[in-house]
Amino acid sequence: MSEQRSKPTGLYIAGEWITDTDESIVSKNPSNSDEVVAEVAKGDRSDAQDAVDAAVHAQDEWASLTTHERGSYLHETASIIEDRKEELSQLVVQEMGKTIGAASGELQRTIDLLNYYAEVARDAGGNAPPSASENTLTYTQREPWGTAGVITPWNYPIAIPTWKMAPALIAGNTVVFKPASQTPTIAAELVSAFEEAGLPEGVINFVPGSGSDVGDEITTNDDIDIVTFTGSYQVGDHVHTAASDEGKRVQCEMGGKNPIIVDDSADIDLAVELTINGGFTGLSGQACTATSRAIILESVYDEYIDRLIERVESLTVGDPLDESSDMGPKSSAGGLEGDLDYIEIGKEDGATLRTGGNRLEGDEYEDGYYVEPTVFTDVEPDMRIAQEEIFGPVLAVLEVADYDEAIEVANSVQYGLSASICTNRLDHAKQFVRDIETGIVKVNQTSTGVEMQMPFGGRKQSSTETFKEQGRQALDFYTHEKAVYVTHTE
Ligand code: NAD
């Protein structure tokens, strides 16, 4: 880690860092809960109001720049983060516990997102369909929506804020950003990189604080025009209602219960690897798109299960900074408790615990929130472990007779974010793409992992389905589009 640079901490409002608040947030390392990563100032409602005022004040001037000029700040921010990629990857690991490989991937994605939207900025206007009249020019013009409230979770603590703020900024909006309280330090680093890139004061304002206080103020404040939220369904549903009641444009991306279907033609080794990568490695199942249900046709069930269990039991759980670890800890004590509760529920509901199921203790695990990778078989579709988002390395395996039953089971949940099928049958692949009720559909890929030029978002309780994130489509959320008709009279 760099020793010269002091870490940004606290709130960032109107171009000033504020550290003298009454309360602070103590960010701890989930692989060693005695280790304090940082103590950062904690904002409250009045700080959020100050942040909104600063963002509103900065908005006209920011909107008056060309999209090219706004994009150049993103390129500069990307280059600053690139210079610190290793240091910031380690900070992500220390603050939320994903493995160093996954953290490094998240940092690269952050850099790529900034550069992508900097380039999208060059082409971020409307379009110009030809008019029916010879003397008329018709075109559409995008204009910023205003001041955006950005509320984010801890599991992708730098990439998610980036994929929200980058399109918001190039579209000419200013931002009030509230990070998750588990990961305020890495979020502050992102804001600091924007500051160092010379972003004008007030364009991004940053207020770490509690959801019920700062989050609620951002959701309901009269001067916030637009709210983008990523997190759980329970909170997102509330944010959606509260912001909509105030007449705001709102977009919420929420939880998932993502399946992989394995059919009778599948390459079983590939199916097992897709399950392992989607459900266990890197983030310990803490991705919204994580594979949490494996729906297996009976003709390949035994073969799949034998190989899966062998592979799960070969995973190395340990220090996430150690490159040989496949899985680190859960990100918090609450997350660990949640997993252990669901493991008990699975047993009580009659599923068979095939492997895992325990907290890891002793030696290197002693002070961390480690849980064994866990697989349940004999899971029925209506069991809670097959229906509810666990957000941990706990996989429910369901056996089905055929493809039709597999699709029925896959769609029998309230969530609809991502889904995968492992098959060598083109008919099943095509049917799956058509039948599955999710926003992201993968054939012979993990349910996790998306490309930034593609639209991102779920269906059902995974999303408000108001607007997509990522890709060029992200601009739709952050802009008004005017239809312009110009007729010349001579
Ligand atoms: P969470 O819902 O607990 O918190 C998300 C954010 O909302 C945090 O910043 C939190 O402080 C804030 N918040 C809490 N109460 C609030 C309130 N009353 N008003 C306004 N804001 C409030 O989620 P989490 O535990 O941080 O993240 C895990 C969840 O996020 C999982 O359900 C996961 O599936 C989901 N997630 C979804 C996506 C996606 O794109 N679909 C991506 C990542 C994570």
Asked if residues 121 and 74 have their Cβ atoms less than 8 Å apart, the reply is yes
Q: Which helix (H) or strand (E) holds 110?
A: helix 100-120
pLDDT bin (cut points 50, 70, 90) of residue 4 is low
Nearest to 204 by CA among 62, 27, 372, 403: 62
Per-chain mean pLDDT for the chain? 97
Ligand 1 contacts CB of residue 232 (under 6 A):
yes
Backbone angles phi, psi at 90, to 5 degrees: -65, -35
Task: Report the pLDDT averaged over residues 330-346.
Answer: 98
What pLDDT score does 9 carry?
82
Ligand 1 contacts CB of residue 151 (under 6 A):
yes
Give the distance, in angstroms, between the CA of residue 49 and the centroid of all CA atoms in the same chain. Answer: 26
Task: Report the pLDDT averaged over residues 203-231.
Answer: 98
Q: Which helix (H) or strand (E) holds 344?
A: helix 333-348
CA distance 253 to 469: 9
Task: Report the pLDDT averaged over residues 45-60.
Answer: 98
pLDDT higher than threshold 80 for residue 490: no
- DSSP label at residue 371: B
CA distance 228 to 404: 36
State pTM to two decimals: 0.97
pLDDT higher than threshold 60 for residue 427: yes
- pLDDT per residue as tens digits for the range 87-116: 999 999 999 999 999 999 999 999 999 999
Tell me the Cα Rg of the chain: 23
- The number of the ligand 1 atom at minimal distance from the alpha carbon of 178 is 9
Task: Report the pLDDT averaged over residues 276-303.
Answer: 98
- pLDDT per residue as tens digits for the range 376-403: 999 999 999 999 999 999 999 999 999 9
What pLDDT score does 123 carry?
87
CA distance 253 to 156: 13
pLDDT bin (cut points 50, 70, 90) of residue 352 is very high
- DSSP label at residue 451: -
- Whole-number Å distance, alpha carbon 287 to ligand 1 midpoint, is 12
Task: Report the pLDDT averaged over residues 120-127.
Answer: 89
CA distance 292 to 146: 38
- pLDDT per residue as tens digits for the range 151-167: 999 999 999 999 999 99
- Whole-number Å distance, alpha carbon 230 to ligand 1 midpoint, is 5
- Whole-number Å distance, alpha carbon 206 to ligand 1 midpoint, is 17
Q: Please give the domain boundaries of the chain with CATH numbers for all domains.
A: 11-254+463-484 (3.40.605.10), 258-443 (3.40.309.10)
What pLDDT score does 173 carry?
98
Q: Which residues are catalytic?
A: 288
CA distance 390 to 384: 9
Beta bridge partners of 29: 32
Q: Whose CA is nearest to atom 23 of ligand 1?
A: 231
DSSP helix/strand/coil, 252: strand
What pLDDT score does 1 carry?
45
- pLDDT per residue as tens digits for the range 437-484: 999 999 999 999 999 999 999 999 999 999 999 999 999 999 999 999
pLDDT bin (cut points 50, 70, 90) of residue 2 is very low
